[in-house]
A and B are shown apart, each in its own frame.
Chain A
Amino acid sequence: MIKNIHGIAAIYRFEMARFRRTFWTSLIMPVITTSLYFIVFGSAIGSRMTEIGGVPYGAFIVPGLIMLSMLTESISNASFGIYMPKWAGTIYEILSAPISPLETVIAYVGAAATKSVIIGVIILLTANLFVDVTIAHPFLMALFLVTIAVTFCLFGFAIGIWAKSFEQLQAIPMLVVFPLTFLGGAFYALEMLPPFWRSVTLFNPLVYLISGFRWTFFGEGDVSIGVSIGATLLFLTICLTTIFWMFRTGYRLKT
């Protein structure tokens, strides 16, 4: 099924080189934002919040913080990666190459997910400077981190194929994913909300991902870990199916 290994490596290397050109900005950005969140939420507000479910507030927000950056970064990196060649016309080379849709997706999404995971790890390390972070299930945590990076890079990839302008490209991460993450319990537990808003929030798909990720840190979340894993895999499947449909029909790639 996978035959063009050199082709995958070529795209992967090309994408990683693109990231390397903006290496410092893309790595310093999450460090600065994480620090700011800790100064504002952790120290200023957190000092009055004390604990949520036995976890100090400073530590409580770490998983949500990682998710917030990773989701937006995954989507914008992966969407940009495929949108750029479309926009510049260099996509002709990919389309004319003996490389399958699966191989193309592995290369682009693999590269974007690599970057997302690196950013996630950097945020985790930065957070560790401010608070003590203990991870209850390190292996599951790493698995969640990678799966969510891959899922949202797939989502971003689909957006990159769909988008017809830079505006559309930025709209989804900024107008949809960022608010949904923020409102999805990144910085609070759902049980702190009034019952009505708690029910509304359960329609937000990101609640399940954030809750699952937090579970791997503290052994408890807003919903059960099984539901979180199910929701993550469901979203992964939807993204994969959409992308293969796009390639098969040539959707916005071929005329």
Chain B
Amino acid sequence: MDGRGARAMALSASGFTLRNVNMETIINIEGLTKTYAGGVVALKRVDLAVRKGEILALLGPNGAGKTTLINIVCGLVTPSSGAITVAGSDIARDYRAARSLIGLVPQELHTDAFEAVIASVRFSRGLFGKPRNDAFLEQLLKDLSLWDKRNAKIMELSGGMKRRVMIAKALSHEPDILFLDEPTAGVDVELRRDMWAMVRAMRARGVTIVLTTHYIEEAEEMADRVGVISNGEILVVDETAALMKKLGRRTLILTLTEPHEQAPAELAEWNLSLRGDGHELVYEFDANAESSGVPSLLRRMSDIGMGFKDLNTSQSSLEDIFVGLVNEAKAE
């Protein structure tokens, strides 16, 4: 199978299910559409199968429909059409079975300001139908560095601490599936590191994790698979490594010693562009191609005596990737 064929395969829904035939699916979403009261179509016939035990990252820009998708599965938003099962239970008909498996950390911080941390976490556990288990909650709060704060009122905690409380509440009933809606928004480096450590530990225990993010790096670092979502549609779902390969367009930026009006004709085959008042030469290339064209470009530049003082490469932005994926989907 050539590169294009493989890509087409991953992009088409049927190709995706074929590849999944031997994987146990824990959440199955079929033909999910959501039109909000105001007329906004947030999801358009979305199909998605989350595999048991995986970390799935939903990657997409603002307004893509990530939160809507999560909120529908968790019962906060009613779908306009479509069918969803969680471990075989329909989320509408068999909501008790479906929901008791799920823990949700929503995007926004919603906490009971006047409650003590421990009381709030105990409440969540009870709410999900589990008998009181203080030993378990003690360990949970310790794991999240909240034990010292257990008697503090939630309003006395910092934003990061509140987020930990939300996580503790979501985990208090020992769910098999954890939804993290933008877990790293407004979170400092340390908490972010803790959070990822916790997510990995959960995964090691067999918990399935679905998280959303705006950042490719984050998806790449954490997820087993990544689903790219834009404008209410899932453009592609694939193994992280395979996807990164596909998305692996990089940009080389050379800061020139002298500004140029336009790229010299000798370098035409590289399709270069200029920016920064002609001080920067920009070359976009495929990092996974057999030859990136970078060494030959640099050689040619030195041949024609074009000097540069600095050199930088960067991953293409999420925006570029979406544009690329959308165009590709249209072309097929």
Tell me the A residues contacting B by CB distance below 8 Å.
Answer: 3-7, 9-11, 13-14, 17-18, 21, 88-90, 92-100, 250, 254-255
Q: How far is the CA of A14 from the CA of B119 in the complex (A)?
A: 8
Residues in chain A near residue B124, CB distance under 8 A? 10, 93
11 A-B residue contacts at CB 8 Å? A3-B96, A6-B132, A9-B126, A10-B123, A10-B126, A14-B115, A18-B114, A92-B110, A97-B99, A97-B129, A98-B100
A10-B124, A14-B112 given; 8 more Cβ-contact pairs under 8 Å: A18-B114, A89-B108, A92-B104, A92-B106, A95-B75, A97-B128, A98-B128, A100-B96
- Contact status B112-A7, CB under 8 Å: no
- Contact status B96-A88, CB under 8 Å: no
Q: Quick one: closest B residue to A8, CB to CB?
A: B126
Question: Smallest distance from the beta carbon of A99 to chain B beta carbons, Å?
Answer: 7
Q: How far is the CA of A250 from the CA of B104 in the complex (A)?
A: 20
Q: How far is the CA of A89 from the CA of B76 in the complex (A)?
A: 11
Question: Smallest distance from the beta carbon of A98 to chain B beta carbons, Å?
Answer: 4
B56-98 contacts to A, CB under 8 A, are 74-78, 95-98
Residue from the list B76, B112, B131 in contact with A95, Cβ < 8 A: B76
- Contact status B110-A88, CB under 8 Å: yes
Question: Smallest distance from the beta carbon of B250 to chain A beta carbons, Å?
Answer: 40
- Contact status A93-B126, CB under 8 Å: no
- Contact status B76-A6, CB under 8 Å: no
Decide if B135 is an interface residue (CB 8 Å cutoff).
no
Q: How far is the CA of A92 from the CA of B76 in the complex (A)?
A: 6
- Contact status A3-B108, CB under 8 Å: no
Question: Smallest distance from the beta carbon of B55 to chain A beta carbons, Å?
Answer: 20
Question: Smallest distance from the beta carbon of A175 to chain B beta carbons, Å?
Answer: 28
Question: Smallest distance from the beta carbon of A138 to chain B beta carbons, Å?
Answer: 36
Question: Smallest distance from the beta carbon of B68 to chain A beta carbons, Å?
Answer: 9
- Most chain B CB within 10 A, of A6, A95, A98, A99, is at A98
Decide if B43 is an interface residue (CB 8 Å cutoff).
no
- Contact status B127-A94, CB under 8 Å: yes
Residues in chain A near residue B289, CB distance under 8 A? none
B6-52 contacts to A, CB under 8 A, are 36-37
Decide if B113 is an interface residue (CB 8 Å cutoff).
yes
Decide if B130 is an interface residue (CB 8 Å cutoff).
yes
Residue from the list A17, A89, A99 in contact with B119, Cβ < 8 A: A17
* CB contact under 8 A between A98 and B129, given known A92-B104, A254-B76: yes
Decide if B211 is an interface residue (CB 8 Å cutoff).
no
- Contact status A98-B95, CB under 8 Å: yes
Residues in chain B near residue A7, CB distance under 8 A? 126-129
Question: Smallest distance from the beta carbon of B4 to chain A beta carbons, Å?
Answer: 41
* CB contact under 8 A between A88 and B113, given known A3-B96, A98-B100: yes
Residues in chain B near residue A250, CB distance under 8 A? 78
Residue from the list B37, B99, B106 in contact with A98, Cβ < 8 A: B99
- Contact status A96-B100, CB under 8 Å: no
Residue from the list A6, A18, A88, A94 in contact with B129, Cβ < 8 A: A6
Q: Quick one: closest B residue to A107, CB to CB?
A: B127
Q: How far is the CA of A93 from the CA of B173 in the complex (A)?
A: 12
Decide if B111 is an interface residue (CB 8 Å cutoff).
yes
Residues in chain B near residue A18, CB distance under 8 A? 114
- Contact status B75-A93, CB under 8 Å: no
Q: How far is the CA of A21 from the CA of B74 in the complex (A)?
A: 32
Q: How far is the CA of A9 from the CA of B128 in the complex (A)?
A: 11
- Most chain A CB within 10 A, of B36, B75, B122, B169, is at B75
